[in-house]
Amino acid sequence: MEGQNGRPPVRQPQTQPVRQPQPARPATKHVTNMPAKQAKELSSSKGKGHTKEVALVILAAVTAVVILVALLVLKLPVLPVILIVAIEIAMGACLQKVPLWLHGAVVAAQIVVGALTGNVVFFLLGGGLYFISVLSIGLVFFSSRRTKAHAG
Protein backbone atom coordinates (compact mmCIF):
# COMPACT_ATOMS: atom_id res chain seq x y z
CA MET A 1 0.00 0.00 0.00
CA GLU A 2 1.35 3.24 -1.01
CA GLY A 3 0.25 6.59 0.13
CA GLN A 4 0.63 9.88 -1.63
CA ASN A 5 3.86 10.51 -3.52
CA GLY A 6 4.75 6.81 -3.63
CA ARG A 7 5.63 6.59 0.02
CA PRO A 8 4.11 4.19 2.53
CA PRO A 9 1.48 5.77 4.72
CA VAL A 10 2.61 7.15 8.07
CA ARG A 11 1.09 5.36 11.01
CA GLN A 12 -0.40 7.55 13.60
CA PRO A 13 0.53 6.46 17.15
CA GLN A 14 -2.37 5.08 19.10
CA THR A 15 -3.07 7.02 22.22
CA GLN A 16 -4.00 5.38 25.45
CA PRO A 17 -7.10 6.68 27.15
CA VAL A 18 -6.14 9.12 29.87
CA ARG A 19 -6.87 7.77 33.34
CA GLN A 20 -8.51 10.20 35.61
CA PRO A 21 -6.88 10.37 39.06
CA GLN A 22 -8.92 8.73 41.76
CA PRO A 23 -9.90 10.93 44.65
CA ALA A 24 -7.98 10.13 47.82
CA ARG A 25 -9.90 8.10 50.36
CA PRO A 26 -10.12 9.60 53.80
CA ALA A 27 -8.22 7.69 56.47
CA THR A 28 -10.83 6.07 58.66
CA LYS A 29 -10.84 3.34 61.22
CA HIS A 30 -14.05 1.88 59.92
CA VAL A 31 -14.02 -1.58 58.48
CA THR A 32 -16.20 -0.70 55.50
CA ASN A 33 -13.57 -1.41 52.82
CA MET A 34 -12.94 -4.98 53.99
CA PRO A 35 -14.52 -8.24 53.05
CA ALA A 36 -17.50 -9.08 55.22
CA LYS A 37 -15.72 -11.95 57.01
CA GLN A 38 -12.82 -9.79 58.15
CA ALA A 39 -15.13 -6.98 59.19
CA LYS A 40 -17.18 -9.40 61.28
CA GLU A 41 -14.03 -10.77 62.96
CA LEU A 42 -12.79 -7.29 63.79
CA SER A 43 -16.12 -6.07 65.10
CA SER A 44 -16.57 -9.18 67.25
CA SER A 45 -13.12 -8.81 68.82
CA LYS A 46 -13.92 -5.73 70.85
CA GLY A 47 -11.86 -5.63 74.00
CA LYS A 48 -9.32 -8.14 72.67
CA GLY A 49 -6.99 -5.57 71.14
CA HIS A 50 -5.07 -4.75 74.29
CA THR A 51 -3.51 -8.15 74.91
CA LYS A 52 0.04 -6.87 74.61
CA GLU A 53 -0.52 -3.93 76.91
CA VAL A 54 -2.27 -5.99 79.58
CA ALA A 55 0.47 -8.63 79.51
CA LEU A 56 3.20 -6.01 79.92
CA VAL A 57 1.33 -4.22 82.72
CA ILE A 58 0.94 -7.52 84.58
CA LEU A 59 4.65 -8.21 84.12
CA ALA A 60 5.55 -4.75 85.42
CA ALA A 61 3.23 -5.11 88.43
CA VAL A 62 4.63 -8.54 89.37
CA THR A 63 8.17 -7.19 88.95
CA ALA A 64 7.42 -4.27 91.26
CA VAL A 65 5.86 -6.60 93.86
CA VAL A 66 8.88 -8.93 93.81
CA ILE A 67 11.29 -6.01 94.20
CA LEU A 68 9.30 -4.42 97.02
CA VAL A 69 8.92 -7.71 98.92
CA ALA A 70 12.63 -8.44 98.55
CA LEU A 71 13.66 -4.97 99.72
CA LEU A 72 11.09 -4.20 102.42
CA VAL A 73 10.12 -7.60 103.83
CA LEU A 74 13.19 -9.76 103.24
CA LYS A 75 15.64 -6.85 103.77
CA LEU A 76 17.86 -7.88 100.87
CA PRO A 77 20.36 -5.42 99.30
CA VAL A 78 19.13 -3.39 96.34
CA LEU A 79 21.77 -4.23 93.74
CA PRO A 80 21.52 -8.05 93.89
CA VAL A 81 17.71 -7.86 93.88
CA ILE A 82 17.61 -5.66 90.78
CA LEU A 83 20.20 -7.80 88.99
CA ILE A 84 18.41 -11.06 89.76
CA VAL A 85 15.05 -9.63 88.70
CA ALA A 86 16.58 -8.40 85.43
CA ILE A 87 18.15 -11.84 84.84
CA GLU A 88 14.80 -13.53 85.52
CA ILE A 89 13.01 -11.38 82.94
CA ALA A 90 15.84 -11.80 80.41
CA MET A 91 15.72 -15.58 80.84
CA GLY A 92 11.95 -15.50 80.36
CA ALA A 93 12.41 -13.56 77.12
CA CYS A 94 15.21 -15.75 75.80
CA LEU A 95 13.65 -19.11 76.67
CA GLN A 96 10.35 -18.59 74.85
CA LYS A 97 10.53 -21.54 72.49
CA VAL A 98 12.00 -24.25 74.70
CA PRO A 99 10.12 -27.36 75.84
CA LEU A 100 7.98 -27.15 78.95
CA TRP A 101 10.21 -29.48 80.98
CA LEU A 102 13.11 -27.04 80.58
CA HIS A 103 11.07 -24.27 82.22
CA GLY A 104 10.48 -26.64 85.13
CA ALA A 105 14.20 -27.36 85.32
CA VAL A 106 14.97 -23.62 85.43
CA VAL A 107 12.53 -23.05 88.31
CA ALA A 108 13.87 -26.13 90.15
CA ALA A 109 17.41 -24.81 89.77
CA GLN A 110 16.30 -21.47 91.20
CA ILE A 111 14.80 -23.19 94.23
CA VAL A 112 18.03 -25.14 94.76
CA VAL A 113 20.06 -21.92 94.54
CA GLY A 114 17.65 -20.30 96.99
CA ALA A 115 18.13 -23.19 99.43
CA LEU A 116 21.91 -22.96 99.11
CA THR A 117 21.96 -19.20 99.69
CA GLY A 118 19.32 -19.17 102.42
CA ASN A 119 16.89 -17.02 100.38
CA VAL A 120 14.30 -19.62 99.41
CA VAL A 121 11.43 -17.12 99.57
CA PHE A 122 13.18 -14.67 97.24
CA PHE A 123 14.03 -17.35 94.72
CA LEU A 124 10.47 -18.69 94.87
CA LEU A 125 9.33 -15.16 94.04
CA GLY A 126 11.94 -15.14 91.26
CA GLY A 127 10.56 -18.41 89.89
CA GLY A 128 7.10 -16.89 89.86
CA LEU A 129 8.48 -13.82 88.11
CA TYR A 130 10.18 -16.08 85.55
CA PHE A 131 6.88 -17.88 84.94
CA ILE A 132 4.97 -14.60 84.52
CA SER A 133 7.65 -13.20 82.21
CA VAL A 134 7.52 -16.30 79.99
CA LEU A 135 3.74 -16.04 79.76
CA SER A 136 3.49 -12.28 79.24
CA ILE A 137 6.33 -12.00 76.73
CA GLY A 138 4.90 -15.03 74.95
CA LEU A 139 1.52 -13.29 74.75
CA VAL A 140 3.17 -10.18 73.34
CA PHE A 141 4.95 -12.18 70.64
CA PHE A 142 1.86 -14.29 69.89
CA SER A 143 -0.50 -11.32 69.60
CA SER A 144 1.93 -9.35 67.44
CA ARG A 145 2.34 -12.35 65.12
CA ARG A 146 -1.44 -12.76 64.99
CA THR A 147 -2.06 -9.10 64.07
CA LYS A 148 0.59 -9.27 61.34
CA ALA A 149 -1.14 -12.35 59.92
CA HIS A 150 -4.50 -10.56 59.85
CA ALA A 151 -2.98 -7.45 58.29
CA GLY A 152 -1.22 -9.37 55.49
User: Is it the case that residue 40 has pLDDT exceeding 60?
Assistant: no
- Are the C-beta atoms of residues 92 and 133 closer than 8 Å to each other? yes
Which sign, positive or negative, has the C-alpha torsion 109, 113, 115, 120? negative
Q: What are the domain boundaries of the chain?
A: 76-151
Percent of the chain with pLDDT over 70: 66
d(CA 52, CA 137): 8
- Supply the pLDDT for residue 31: 47
d(CA 49, CA 147): 9
Share of the chain residues as helix, strand and coil, in percent rounded to the nearest 5: 65, 0, 35
pTM, whole model, 2 decimals? 0.62
User: Is it the case that residue 35 has pLDDT exceeding 70?
Assistant: no
Please tell me which of 9-18, 20-29, 107-116 the model is most confident about, judged by mean pLDDT. Answer: 107-116
Confidence of residue 13 (pLDDT cuts 50, 70, 90): low
Q: What are phi and psi of 146, to 5 degrees?
A: -70, -40
Radius of gyration of the chain (CA): 31
- Are the C-beta atoms of residues 96 and 144 closer than 8 Å to each other? no
- Supply the pLDDT for residue 147: 61
Average pLDDT, the chain: 80
d(CA 112, CA 152): 46
pLDDT tens readout for residues 103-116: 999 999 999 999 99
